[in-house]
Every structure is written in structure tokens, then in C-alpha cells.
Amino acid sequence: MPRYFPIDAGVSFDCDQSDLLAISWTPDSLSADFLLPSTPGRALRIRFNGATIVRLLDEMPLSTEHGTKNEGLVSRHFAYRVEGSTFAETQSEAWKFAYRPVCHYEFVTGSGCMDVLSKFEPSFEMVGSSE
């Protein structure tokens, strides 16, 4: 059963009103900008420095893992570390061994979800936005 552990992104907002604005992904880094609905012209950037596996889902139910409970989810919360997910367990064993220890992180908006596997913790920063 997946267990969710909320992460403090350093800013409070209603994730149901947010959305992914941009993503930049290379073999050695990932950054993604998310709309901050109550702060026009600003976005929340999440960055991972190091190799990642990324999954983007749109118009999601939060869990695509049928028949599981969602222990630890907080209403309208944006960022989580996840343990015991099917997503993490079904990724390449060789990749997970090479980059161990890896964690599953999940970022939830009203219209989508970004899952990330990484050895490194995410960093968060406020940036300008064209939205």
C-alpha cells in the first residue's frame, strides 16, 4: 500500500488551482515550474540535480494504482514523498541500483500529477512566470 509523506514546498497554495507550466529535463537534471494561483507572475520551480525518472499524468485520479488506499494524503496538498508505490516498484531495477538509494516524489495539481524517482531531494524556489 502506498504511503504519502507531505513535503513543505516553502509556499502555501491550493494545488487544485495549480498546473504545470513548463518542464526541462536532461540526463543530469530536472526542473518543473508550477502555477501559483494566488501569486500572478510567479511560479514555483522544483529542481532535481541528478538523474531522474519522470512520469506526467493529466486529468488524473491521484492514484493509478487500483485497489490501494492513499494513506497520508492531505487535502489540497502539493508535494509528497511516497513509499510503496507501484510506479516506483515497476521501474528499472538496474537504474534503481545504479542511482541508489532512490525515492519517489509526487507533485499534484488540479489537472495533473508529476511523479519523479531520484536519489536527490527536490529543491523549491519562486521564479517569474509568463502566466
Cβ neighbours, 10 Å, residue 65: 17
Instruction: Kindly state the cell numbers that stand for 55.
Output: 512520469
Q: What's the mean per-residue pLDDT of the chain?
A: 89
How many angstroms separate the Cα of 23 from the Cα of each of 5, 19, 73, 122? 24, 12, 25, 14
**Position of cell 496538498?**
77
Q: Is 93 helix (H, G, I), strand (E, B) or coil?
A: helix
pLDDT, one tens digit per residue, over 1-42 is: 899 999 999 998 888 899 999 999 988 899 999 999 888 889
pLDDT, one tens digit per residue, over 106-126 is: 999 988 899 999 999 999 999
